[in-house]
């Protein structure tokens, strides 16, 4: 019997692994692709290198995987047991004396491994990746080399300041430059230069213009003053984001930074509820892989069985999983408004686990009645 059980474990795990890998790869690719498309404009508008782009998109992956992992696990469990039921293999296993908890053990081992991975992602990799992603964004905005200057187009750097360049050389030199500064409406300035470059002078970003002229119109006197120059520096420090100490958003913080805030930091105190809710969300999110698996097992293994119920069981399992997940999001938002509601976050994920384990263990008594009522069995 022990050998049979060992083979049964391996058999079920093998049936879970294939669908899990398939659903994981497909869902991860789809979600990652939609997130990456939002960053394509960095290549088009800011001349971002492919290496920088791939670095940014790779930092999106931990967050994507943490979302996909519980879904892929429950999808694999539903697919596996739907197939075992369709091929009447479940009937054979039950006839051999294998109980529902014994059948569920392999899935729980699988879900337990996924939950452990989810904890690593939720508590360490996701906040770390989100923080690194934000820091790269700040670096991008603070680097004058990535100012959005497209060739052959009028680029609005900020309201009232427009820059046109005819061409950009591979070494970074710019040709055919026109700068129109209309921030001071009464004294608009237009500068033209044969060439130029974006440089840093003593840490301050500058737009160096070579061989050109500067025209300034005084609208009150209607006079135009012109200055010819060999070299002219236009200060750009106000148009790039400085890398000052910034406030870390909840998704960028590790657990201790969410639950134990700096009371001297005004932003932390103001966002106390949101930080608190995010911290408990980090603790409970990984448990959804286990909760979803138990919900699916309860629906697929308990109650009276007939062929007409197969599709209905699948639909009910999917609906219950969606309800639990949506309630989880709702309770996190509610806790951000009132930390007294924190227990709801835990009850939402722990209650399905407890109920499912009870139904699987007491299948010969209460479980059969409940599932027969749900599915209209006789």
Give yes or no for a contact between 70 and 292, defined as CB atoms under 8 angstroms apart. yes
Residue 166 and residue 69 share a domain: no
Residue 14 and residue 133 share a domain: yes
Q: Which positions of the chain have pLDDT values less than 50?
A: 1-5, 365-374, 377-378
Residue 134 and residue 252 share a domain: yes
Residue 348 and residue 276 share a domain: yes
Residue 114 and residue 137 share a domain: yes
pLDDT tens-digit readout, 185-201 = 888 889 999 988 877 66
Residue 106 and residue 14 share a domain: yes
H or E segment to which residue 43 belongs: helix 40-46
Domain tally, the chain: 2
Give yes or no for a contact between 78 and 134, defined as CB atoms under 8 angstroms apart. no
How far does Cα 222 stand from its chain's mean position?
A: 55
Boundary-marking domain end, from 192, 207, 239 = 239
| pLDDT at 41 (0 to 100) | 63
- Listed in sequence order, the residues at least 6 apart from 179 whose beta carbon sits closer than 8 Å to its beta carbon are 161, 162, 163, 164, 189, 190, 191, 192, 207, 209, 234
Q: For the whole model, what pTM was predicted?
A: 0.74
Give yes or no for a contact between 281 and 345, defined as CB atoms under 8 angstroms apart. yes
Residue 160 and residue 107 share a domain: no
| pLDDT at 242 (0 to 100) | 56
Residue 205 and residue 278 share a domain: no
Boundary-marking domain end, from 239, 269, 291 = 239
| pLDDT at 4 (0 to 100) | 40
Give yes or no for a contact between 293 and 301, defined as CB atoms under 8 angstroms apart. no
Give the three-class secondary structure for 217.
strand
Q: Please identify which residue in the block is written with the tokens 């025209």.
A: 215
pLDDT tens-digit readout, 209-241 = 889 999 988 877 878 888 888 888 877 766 555
| pLDDT at 142 (0 to 100) | 58
Residue 371 and residue 258 share a domain: yes
Boundary-marking domain end, from 222, 239, 256 = 239
Give the three-class secondary structure for 214.
strand
Distance of alpha carbon 301 from alpha carbon 99, whole angstroms: 10
Residue 264 and residue 224 share a domain: no
| pLDDT at 363 (0 to 100) | 63
Residue 93 and residue 50 share a domain: yes
Instruction: Give the structural domain span for 316.
Output: 2-142+248-375
Residue 17 and residue 118 share a domain: yes
């Amino acid at each position: 019997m022990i050998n049979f059980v060992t083979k049964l474990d391996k058999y079920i795990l093998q049936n879970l692994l294939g669908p899990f890998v398939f659903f994981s790869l497909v869902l991860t690719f789809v979600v990652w692709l939609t997130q990456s498309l939002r960053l394509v404009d960095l290549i088009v508008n800011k001349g971002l290198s492919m290496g920088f782009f791939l670095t940014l998109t790779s930092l999106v992956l931990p967050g994507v995987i943490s979302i996909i992992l519980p879904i892929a696990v429950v999808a694999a469990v539903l697919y596996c047991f739907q197939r075992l039921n369709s091929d009447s293999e479940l009937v054979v296993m039950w006839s051999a004396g294998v109980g529902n908890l014994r059948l569920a053990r392999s899935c729980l081992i699988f879900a337990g491994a996924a939950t452990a991975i989810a904890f690593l992602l939720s508590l360490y990799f996701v906040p770390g990746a989100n923080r690194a992603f934000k820091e790269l964004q700040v670096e991008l905005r603070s680097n004058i080399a990535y100012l959005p200057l497209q060739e052959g187009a009028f680029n609005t750097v900020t309201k009232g300041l427009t820059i046109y360049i005819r061409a950009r050389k591979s070494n970074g030199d710019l040709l055919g430059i026109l700068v129109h500064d209309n921030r001071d409406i009464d004294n608009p300035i237009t500068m033209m230069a044969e060439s130029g470059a974006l440089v840093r002078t003593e840490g301050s970003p500058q737009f160096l213009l070579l061989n050109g002229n500067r025209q300034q119109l005084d609208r009150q006197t209607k006079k135009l003053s012109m200055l010819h120059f060999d070299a002219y520096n236009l200060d750009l420090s106000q148009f790039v984001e400085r890398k000052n100490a910034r406030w870390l958003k909840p998704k960028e913080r590790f657990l201790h930074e969410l639950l134990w805030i700096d009371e001297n930091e005004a932003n932390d105190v103001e966002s106390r509820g949101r930080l608190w809710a995010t911290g408990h969300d980090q603790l409970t999110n990984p448990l959804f892989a286990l909760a979803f698996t138990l919900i699916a097992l309860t629906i697929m293994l308990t109650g009276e069985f007939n062929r007409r119920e197969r599709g209905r069981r699948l639909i009910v399992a999917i609906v219950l999983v969606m309800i639990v997940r949506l309630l989880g999001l709702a309770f996190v938002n509610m806790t951000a408004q009132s930390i007294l509601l924190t227990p709801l976050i835990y009850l939402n994920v722990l209650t399905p686990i407890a109920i499912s384990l009870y139904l699987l263990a007491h299948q010969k008594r209460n479980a059969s009645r409940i599932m027969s009522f749900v599915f209209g069995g006789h």
